[in-house]
Structure 1
Amino acid sequence: MFHLLSSFLFFATTPPPLPPPTPQEFVRPQIVRPLPGSLNTVPVFNSNSPELVLEPGILLSTFPATGTTHPQAHLDFPLEGRFDIFAHHVAKAPTPDDLRTLYLGVIVDNPGREAVKINILQAVSYLSQPDAPFIKLDPFLENSDGTIYAGPGSRVMGEILRGWHQIQFPFLMTIPAGERQMLLNLPIPVKDFDPPINGRSSYLRLRSNGRVYLASLAMFAPKDEEGNERPPTLAEWEALLQTGDLAKPRDRAPTPPNSEGSSFLYGRVAGVAQGSQWEAKLTDRSEVDFLTIPDRGQIISYGISTLDRGTLGTEQIQSAPMLARYPDTAYKAHGNYGIRYSLNLPLYNPTEAMQTVTIALETPIKQDEISTGLRFFDPLPTNTFFRGTVRVKYTDDGGILQTRYYHLVQRRGQEGEPLVTLHLQPNTQRSVSVDLLYPPDSTPPQVLTIQTLK
């Protein structure tokens, strides 16, 4: 009886848990520089709007509009040579009893009079469930074997970064003159998941020796004679391409770039963006081949994925421009999902003393102008703004070439842990390479930070 009474009194008098402390901003004095270099000109077939697909239809079509039922759904933009495909969409049961599987299809058309060969240089596609669920991970984890990820975007970009290619995709497609083939025909199931929602991220790097048209499409799985779901056929995809309208529900329309209001909606991307990689050598000036490290206790950062109203004082918008788009979708590829950043830092210590230098990726609070430095939070809020793998290559203090992969999870306003720590001897230079593919489900901007410790 005593024990029961003690337990009752304990539970009766235990106060409710305190709410988490409110994040407080602080300013870190430092310099922020624009990132040297620029995006390349490789076009990217970027299918990300609508993100949530509840009704079948056309997600993105570069086909000509002639003879189609809904000409406004076709952008008439052929692709040839090097181009990439990025697709990121979510399926959700429209009603609790409607658990049909949504299929994502990418169809390729050869309009010419000769066969076209498409080299599939890399191709990776994953579902949220069960392939890559959004699990809670520590902010900084070594990811040497590629088994650490959270979400399909994180997993896909990590594998493309490593040069991997999924066995389900061939390395070569040959499309006869005037014919079409399916490049992707993959399910996004919702049945047996709680809640009944799922997503799929895909990224493909391609090279074509002739002109082709592409379309990404969404369709609920047809059924066979026994009433079981089956993949759609090429003929069924072609019928949807011919008669279908844009898939729904439509995402909210973006704010025009030159608008002056306080609110600004970037919108989601559906179109052909220009640029698949940002390659740069970070130096003091364009005419020199070294980057002088900051003075002791000082910090220099370079913007990563800066965007309209988020240039961090650099006035540099890195968002890929759109070569073709739908009127209700993003004006630029804000976020640069899937774009590879390949950055070389030839660090130089000009002093007569050994200096300890760190390099980190960070997620400061978005701002367009800065006065004395970047803003961060302490304690951190709960919302995640970056989730993906970063690769660093460098020669360590023992003279050994290192290649390291780290999976980062960063919240809004989070300072980053060092990816690399170097002890630079007096009057010496050592290079560090940093590579990442900007992962879907992240929110820009980020910075690459070089700090010389006191």
Structure 2
Amino acid sequence: MLPLLLNLTLAQSTPTLPPEEVVQPQIVRPLPGQLDKVPVFNSNSPELVLKEGILLSTFPPDGKKVPTAHLNFPFRGRFDIFAHHIAKAEPPENVRSLYIGIILHNPSSAPVTVNVLQAASYLSQPEAPFIQLPSFTENILGTVFSGPGDRITSDVLRGKRQEIFPAQIVIPPRQSQMLLNLPIPVKGLTPPLNGRSTLIRLRSSGTVYAASLAMFAQTNPDGSERAPTLDEWQNLLNNSDLAGPRDKIPTPLEDTGKPRVYGRVAGVASGSGWRAFLVDNPQARYLTIPQPGQALSYALSTVHGGSLGTSQIQSANMLVRYPDTAYRAHGNYGIQYSLKLPLYNNTQSSQTVSVAIQTPLKEDSLVKPGLRFLNTPSNQVFFRGTVRVRYNDDRGKPQTQFIHLMQKKGQLGEPLTLLNMPAGDRRLVEVDLIYPPDATPPQVLTVTTQAKS
């Protein structure tokens, strides 16, 4: 027994060394382009819902019992809906399901057609549990995911519309219809905690208002649960206040010297996609690869206090919001980045070039000449999502790959693709991703030319 006790004592008395920082001397550029103007209905506050009510309403306040709960923002044409909320049995014996409803209203005197372009909604239990995965996994079939935010963005990136959503709904004049009416069950779960994430891309032929609502399941005479009806949802919309409990109030965007609270989003954000042509300068038509042994990075999903030395804030502006929620859509959850890299080898010899996504340590100004990583990444997962990469391989054949990444804080990341580029070679690489909920910004897209051995 003595050796075992001695080993235990040694293990307990030997502190785990913190991971060491590694500085990679790479240039970081702001991302060219900008967010488009497609409005995004972004319902993420309160994240944990214990009190039923209005999560987000863009309806006019007229005739509503709590006018301040309605932000009066009409949608027309293209718009997106993102929603993520969590239910918990509180107290533990109260295991009624929490229903999330998304209602659309046509205020006009003519029917309005709403086309559902892509859509996905998943529960964390059992449909998309948070599991540990390798940092790099091929995901051609879309079966690799960790968490509902990861799964919805993977589906929508592939252009899918989940079968629970209709291809189209027609809303009669001055009427409303439910776009979503789904439960977050907690019964039988340990702990009794569950979440649902939803991402929908829509196109409307006319003006519509939208609201996301939370209501506990109604009860049938036999004691079983049933979904709320359209009338019950409309009654809640007209007569309820905001759902609760409310999240932490965000700190001002300007640096106050105090701990920064970004807050959670509840409002309409401006921008659903960011297209970028990554070239040497605005007049150029190609991106010169770095010199051998060097790297070049472009910032992704930068936030206040985390611009990686670029001074660029990519977080979407809020067109309307509740006063106690985030000032911007920090993290750009559900926003698609479509990045084109027309690579050019201007050297006199063949070069091996890689393109990767990385998760450096967050900083606003670079305190050292390069990005900081950890030699042993921490246990905190900062990015879990699928990336699509398209390019012509070394034989000239077009390739499309879907790669699932699970990166931890400070992780360098493996190459999405490795290209052997002869002298003078030009090669277009396209990288697409929908920034996944449950990720922590910022990241970078990095082009590296391998050093000659």
- What is the distance in 2 between the residues matched to 1:69 and 1:62? 15
User: How far 1:253 moved relative to its partner?
Assistant: 0.7
Structure 1 vs Structure 2 CA RMSD: 1.0
Matched, 1:30 2:26: yes
Letter in 2 for 1:121: L
User: How far 1:422 moved relative to its partner?
Assistant: 0.2
- What is the distance in 2 between the residues matched to 1:69 and 1:22? 55
The 5 Å alignment of 1:34-433 reads 34-370=30-366, 371-433=368-430
- What is the distance in 2 between the residues matched to 1:111 and 1:156? 30
- What is the distance in 2 between the residues matched to 1:93 and 1:402? 47
- What is the distance in 2 between the residues matched to 1:140 and 1:48? 28
Q: Which moved more, 1:150-159 or 1:254-263?
A: 254-263
- What is the distance in 2 between the residues matched to 1:394 and 1:285? 22
Gaps of 5+ in 2: none
**Contact 1:141–1:407 (CA under 8 A) maintained in structure 2:** yes
- What is the distance in 2 between the residues matched to 1:435 and 1:227? 47
- What is the distance in 2 between the residues matched to 1:219 and 1:23? 45
- What is the distance in 2 between the residues matched to 1:397 and 1:154? 31
- What is the distance in 2 between the residues matched to 1:219 and 1:299? 51
User: What is the aligned partner in structure 1 of residue 7 from structure 2?
Assistant: 14
**Contact 1:36–1:281 (CA under 8 A) maintained in structure 2:** yes
- What is the distance in 2 between the residues matched to 1:396 and 1:421? 9
- What is the distance in 1 between the residues matched to 2:225 and 2:260? 42
- What is the distance in 2 between the residues matched to 1:247 and 1:214? 16
- What is the distance in 2 between the residues matched to 1:262 and 1:330? 17
**Contact 1:364–1:374 (CA under 8 A) maintained in structure 2:** yes
**Contact 1:21–1:379 (CA under 8 A) maintained in structure 2:** no
- What is the distance in 1 between the residues matched to 2:230 and 2:29? 50
Q: Map Cα deviations across residues 293-345 of structure 1 (whole Å, 9 max, x no partner).
A: 00000110000001111110101100000000000000000000000000000
User: How far 1:68 moved relative to its partner?
Assistant: 1.1
**Contact 1:113–1:178 (CA under 8 A) maintained in structure 2:** yes
Letter in 1 for 2:239: T
**Contact 1:128–1:134 (CA under 8 A) maintained in structure 2:** yes
- What is the distance in 2 between the residues matched to 1:343 and 1:376? 24
User: How far 1:256 moved relative to its partner?
Assistant: 1.1
Normalised to the residue count of structure 1, the TM-score between the two structures is: 0.97
Q: Map Cα deviations across residues 15-59 of structure 1 (whole Å, 9 max, x no partner).
A: 254554312222111100000011000000000011111110100
SS in 1 for 2:218: coil
- What is the distance in 1 between the residues matched to 2:187 and 2:240? 25
Q: Map Cα deviations across residues 366-415 of structure 1 (whole Å, 9 max, x no partner).
A: 10111401111122211110000011000000111110111111111111
SS in 1 for 2:310: coil
Normalised to the residue count of structure 2, the TM-score between the two structures is: 0.97
User: How far 1:259 moved relative to its partner?
Assistant: 4.0
**Contact 1:363–1:415 (CA under 8 A) maintained in structure 2:** yes
- What is the distance in 2 between the residues matched to 1:172 and 1:187? 22
Letter in 2 for 1:119: N
Q: Map Cα deviations across residues 150-200 of structure 1 (whole Å, 9 max, x no partner).
A: 000011101111111111111110000010100000000001111110000
Letter in 2 for 1:393: R
SS in 1 for 2:85: strand
User: How far 1:260 moved relative to its partner?
Assistant: 2.3
- What is the distance in 2 between the residues matched to 1:361 and 1:20? 28
User: How far 1:9 moved relative to its partner?
Assistant: 4.5
User: What is the aligned partner in structure 2 of residue 4 from structure 1?
Assistant: none
- What is the distance in 2 between the residues matched to 1:424 and 1:12? 58
Q: Map Cα deviations across residues 80-114 of structure 1 (whole Å, 9 max, x no partner).
A: 11000000111111111111100000011111000
Letter in 2 for 1:83: F
Matched, 1:436 2:433: yes
Letter in 2 for 1:376: F
Q: Map Cα deviations across residues 425-448 of structure 1 (whole Å, 9 max, x no partner).
A: 101210000000000010000000
Letter in 2 for 1:14: N
